[in-house]
Structure 1
Amino acid sequence: MPRRPPTAIDQYEALSTVVRLVRGDRARTRPELGTTALLGRTVISQRVEEAMNLGLLEDADVGPSSGGRAPRRLRFRAEEGLVLSAVLGATALDVAVTDLDARVLEHRHLEWPVARGPEETLDFLDDQFADLLKERAPGRLWAVAIGVPGPVEFATGRPSQPPIMPGWDGFDIRGRLQDRHGVPVWVDNDANLLALGEARSTGLDDDQHLIFVKAGTGIGAGVVSQGRIHRGSKGAAGDIGHARVLEDNSVMCRCGRTGCLEALAGGWALARDAVSAVHEGRSRFLADAHHATGEITPADIGRGVVAGDAWCLTAVARAAERIGSLMAALVNFYNPDCLVFGGGAVTGGDNTFLRVVDHTVRSRALPLASADLTIRASAAGETAGVAGGAHLAVETLLSADALATWAPGGRPSAVEPARLAGGA
């Protein structure tokens, strides 16, 4: 997105600040806006009026009086627009429609292997999106956000050498979806969107740091630093699943390398080892599951943990220790406030995984780095990723640069999508 030339008094910086403060519930009245944003009464009044004309703010109830006339509170009009958001995984995807506050209006979790390739997958997504909008006015659509299970060149919206996404490398996801839907599109790594959704839903302060670890079929991490996603120079930040943690060339990963964390502790690796356990008679629980369906899935192992199956408990604990060992090194390096885990490994109804991770991190990380560290399961639930995608899109559209582009036309759809999609 091209940068606008600087102005003496930048109305769009002030407009963006006002709308974001109200949207984030950090200032609700005009006096609070002036105090928080360090802007004069006239500027606040002008920018609030402009935001109201754009349909972004409106007067709401009356706030408490501090001695004079009680101030009128402002409300962000989240219903003014819609965002379509999807997060692809190795074997399933989540798709949703949200309002401009990233509140999920409708959500679906569907089985779909990403290995079917970009054309089939995006056609399938188009059908799902169309169905989600069927009972809603399509003119309210503001943006689309997509998360994929691999590195993304964020500036172009193209996957960059994704290890488990055959046929996706360099595919123009953004261009394909912008042509189809006529709105700006953001494409990011799935763990990044999970991290952002977690940070926003739990009210993480802008001066805090969070690492979100997705431990499911594969393993990945998203980093939020001072309110922003950290992606690295090539979009590969957080790709911990393919860090080499074992000097053993016999342990082959799906990425083609050996000794990767994912090849030892990912859900697909546990399912691989579970088949051997069944053939060797080491798990009656998994043998019954295999007999019933002809296969073993990571979910079967999770159910085995809940049922107290010894092999499942040991396998999950060993995987948690390996993940925790790597995270201890990252805690020393990055010193986050919060280490959050999501994915199938922590949603099976048993706390074995988190208990072992917590013990491993705290016993191996430096005391200074782990002293005030919070280690917990995701509080945002199964919609964290789609909500994170919506936050990414809306926060970018409400930035000063984006507002300067679309506000003169009245709404984002008034300009070419390619002029709005970009970094945040």
Structure 2
Amino acid sequence: MSRRPPTAIDQYEALATVVRLVRRGRARTRPELGAAALLGRTVISQRVEEAISLGLLEDADVAPSSGGRAPRRLRFRSEEGLVLSAVLGAAALDVAVTDLDARVLDHRHLEWPVAHGPERTFDFLDEYFAELLKAHDPAQLWAVVIGVPGPVEFATGRPSQPPIMPGWDGYDIRGRMQRRHGVPVWVDNDANLLALGEARSTGLDDDQHMIYVKAGTGIGAGVVSRGRVHRGSKGAAGDIGHARVLEDNSVMCRCGRTGCLEALAGGWALARDAVTAVHEGRSRYLADIHRATGEITPADIGRGVVAGDAWCLTAVARAAERIGSLMAALVNFYNPDCVVFGGGAVAGGDTFLRVADHTVRSRALPLAAADLTVRAAVTGDTGGVVGGAHLAVDMLLSADALAAWAPGGRPSAVEPDRLVAGV
């Protein structure tokens, strides 16, 4: 059977593969690219030259010889572009500018309640994005990524009935930011970006699977499978905070339903219960805080754990057991290589992680838990913005996006909607 002639799609698939392998450190020389991509020498040579002409790759140092002429290593030119990322939480947000390797060039962690609404929030973000770009060439901006603490319809970039984001439902985040910055904009759930940032920062192999659990004021999860975020058909995958785990109609969640995991184990729920504990005289530590400030925050409970307060220790352990119990069911269902816990719950000592680990292992099937790693996240405040940068660069260097912008030489050569749609 004769082989069909190569098409333009084949060309950009090969180009995307070559750039991805070099960018991810999977192959650094032309012979390594041929072996990893299963492509012939001529195709590799053509695609490498095309990537060099686009400013994506360059020849670097010489690799050790394995016999004969030593090959040149290739380097991904991460300095070619910039990405702006912002990840919003219930009460604070992170903003950063990164290069195309998701290296953070500048970062801010800022107190800002998401309940201020979209217009005030994006006016606030515009100010800090402009500040972050002062030290850089604005013409190098390739993309903007926004993470929000609620469900997002990924195809449109619009929040969908987010329980803790009044005024945000259906808001056109993508349109607002594309009009402001003139570059492609992607919007995702914050847990998905945290999961992708953690996976890439810790070198999760492309054949591995991870569930990242954000246990903070609210509870959510992101699933990374074979190097990509699994969002489901609409973008709702991973919203474990609103799984019903208690048949008790008296426990009301912020989403309006009852018995949700978040209403029992989320940081806001622990703070609610802490006020009751103070009134009942069950925590002198929290009573002193309440007397001084008039409120109790999830962070106060975390500090209470470190201080050894009995009520705080018991409350956090109970929350960890409830979250771990649901995660055991998901470990049986999904059989990941690792479960990673991030968010404020893991900042207050090792109580949460120790109880969650024990619960997952004791309730999951032995086969599913046999080689399972359960650990705390390592990326900290920058995990979400790093994940956002990886998301944008993955999208812009995909075969479909390259087919749209490579003929013009830069992503700015085409309308942002063309790069976002269908990618």
State the TM-score, normalized to the length of structure 1: 0.97
Residue of structure 1 in register with 2:215 after alignment = 215
Q: Tell me if the contact between 1:241 and 1:261 (Cα under 8 Å) persists in the aligned partners.
A: yes
1:300 partnered with 2:300: yes
Q: Tell me if the contact between 1:183 and 1:417 (Cα under 8 Å) persists in the aligned partners.
A: yes
SS of alignment partner, residue 250 of structure 2 = coil
In structure 1, distance between residues paired with 2:364 and 2:157: 35
In structure 1, distance between residues paired with 2:339 and 2:350: 15
Q: CA deviation at 1:235?
A: 1.5
Instruction: Report matched runs for 1:96-245 at 5 Å.
Output: 96-245=96-245
Q: Tell me if the contact between 1:177 and 1:185 (Cα under 8 Å) persists in the aligned partners.
A: yes
Instruction: Report matched runs for 1:275-294 at 5 Å.
Output: 275-294=275-294
Q: Tell me if the contact between 1:154 and 1:423 (Cα under 8 Å) persists in the aligned partners.
A: no
1:397 partnered with 2:392: no
SS of alignment partner, residue 171 of structure 1 = coil
Change (3 A) 1:9 1:41: farther
Residue of structure 1 in register with 2:3 after alignment = none
State the TM-score, normalized to the length of structure 2: 0.97
1:384 partnered with 2:378: no
In structure 2, distance between residues paired with 1:248 and 1:35: 58
Q: Tell me if the contact between 2:155 and 2:234 (Cα under 8 Å) persists in the aligned partners.
A: no
Residue range with higher mean Cα deviation, 277-286 or 7-16: 7-16
Instruction: Tell me the matched-pair count.
Output: 418
In structure 2, distance between residues paired with 1:265 and 1:180: 38
Letter in structure 2 aligned against 1:302: G
Q: Tell me if the contact between 1:396 and 1:423 (Cα under 8 Å) persists in the aligned partners.
A: no
In structure 2, distance between residues paired with 1:36 and 1:243: 41
Q: CA deviation at 1:151?
A: 1.0
Residue of structure 1 in register with 2:35 after alignment = 35
Residue of structure 1 in register with 2:416 after alignment = 417
Q: CA deviation at 1:45?
A: 1.3
In structure 2, distance between residues paired with 1:364 and 1:423: 41
Letter in structure 1 aligned against 2:183: V
In structure 1, distance between residues paired with 2:304 and 2:146: 33
Q: CA deviation at 1:380?
A: 2.0
Instruction: Report matched runs for 1:330-369 at 5 Å.
Output: 330-348=330-348, 350-369=349-368
Residue of structure 2 in register with 1:81 after alignment = 81
Q: CA deviation at 1:291?
A: 2.1
In structure 2, distance between residues paired with 1:26 and 1:146: 28
Structure 2 unaligned residues grouped into runs of 5+: 1-5
CA deviation map 1:80-103 (0-9, x unaligned) = 100000111111111100000001
Q: CA deviation at 1:197?
A: 0.7
Letter in structure 2 aligned against 1:160: S
In structure 2, distance between residues paired with 1:63 and 1:207: 27
In structure 2, distance between residues paired with 1:292 and 1:30: 65
Q: Tell me if the contact between 1:159 and 1:169 (Cα under 8 Å) persists in the aligned partners.
A: yes
In structure 1, distance between residues paired with 2:152 and 2:422: 12
SS of alignment partner, residue 420 of structure 1 = helix
Change (3 A) 1:423 1:356: farther
SS of alignment partner, residue 420 of structure 2 = coil
Q: Tell me if the contact between 2:142 and 2:412 (Cα under 8 Å) persists in the aligned partners.
A: yes
Residue of structure 2 in register with 1:3 after alignment = none
Structure 1 unaligned residues grouped into runs of 5+: 1-5
Percent identity among equivalent residues? 87
In structure 2, distance between residues paired with 1:129 and 1:33: 37
In structure 1, distance between residues paired with 2:257 and 2:270: 18
CA deviation map 1:292-320 (0-9, x unaligned) = 22211111100000010000000000000
CA deviation map 1:55-113 (0-9, x unaligned) = 11111111110011111111000011000001111111111000000011111111111
In structure 1, distance between residues paired with 2:225 and 2:81: 28
In structure 2, distance between residues paired with 1:284 and 1:188: 41
Q: Tell me if the contact between 1:223 and 1:230 (Cα under 8 Å) persists in the aligned partners.
A: yes
Q: CA deviation at 1:276?
A: 1.1
